[in-house]
Amino acid sequence: MTGKSATTNCSTPEPQYFIVDIRHDWRKQKYITFWRPNNSDYAWPLSWAGRYDKSVVDSEASYYCNTNGRKELIRFPVACEIVEAMALTEPDSGDIDGNAGPVLRNSEKVRRKLRAAAYIPQGAVTTAVGA
């Protein structure tokens, strides 16, 4: 991940997104994976995930929204309020340090909903939106 800051200090609020990462080899994980703040690792609980401003996502569209050569979106931004509305209040006991949450169960249904809600910035590397 790049070292570019993923947050801004603008006085005018702008839309914010969680970066969803549902690469193929993570499909058997119990929860959906999100990027942490400042492009610095991964997390299941939304309380640990980064909130990325629209201007940041737009400035590096192909980095934040990509198919990684597959026929479906692998990593992509989804509006924070959409993700939060889909989330469970907490993970199963013992799955995450301190039972931090909320989390999203990793299922085909949830992945489809997230892909359908993806924000596709101009310049994103995708030819298969909705695939």
Q: Is residue 3 part of a domain?
A: no
CA–CA gap between residue 70 and residue 20 (Å, rounded): 16
CA distances from 77 to 60, 66, 98 (A): 12, 10, 26
| Residue 23: closest CA among 110, 127, 111 | 111
Q: Strands 52-53 and 42-43, how do they pair?
A: unpaired
Q: Is residue 65 part of a domain?
A: yes
Q: Is residue 39 part of a domain?
A: yes
Q: Is residue 8 part of a domain?
A: no
Based on the structure, what is the number of domains in the chain?
1
**pLDDT band at residue 64 using 50, 70 and 90 as cut-offs:** very high
CA–CA gap between residue 85 and residue 64 (Å, rounded): 22
**42: containing domain:** 16-116
**pLDDT band at residue 92 using 50, 70 and 90 as cut-offs:** confident
Provide the whole-model pTM.
0.84
Which amino acid, one-letter code, is at 50? G
Cβ-based neighbour number of residue 6 at 10 Å: 23
Q: Does the pLDDT at position 2 exceed 60?
A: no
Q: Is residue 31 part of a domain?
A: yes
Mean pLDDT of 4-33: 78
Q: Is residue 9 part of a domain?
A: no
Q: Are 22 and 34 in contact (CB under 8 A)?
A: no
Q: Is residue 123 part of a domain?
A: no
- Of 1-5, 20-24, 80-84, the one with minimum mean pLDDT is 1-5
Q: Does the pLDDT at position 73 exceed 80?
A: yes
| Residue 43: closest CA among 81, 86, 95 | 95
Q: Is residue 63 part of a domain?
A: yes
**pLDDT band at residue 12 using 50, 70 and 90 as cut-offs:** low
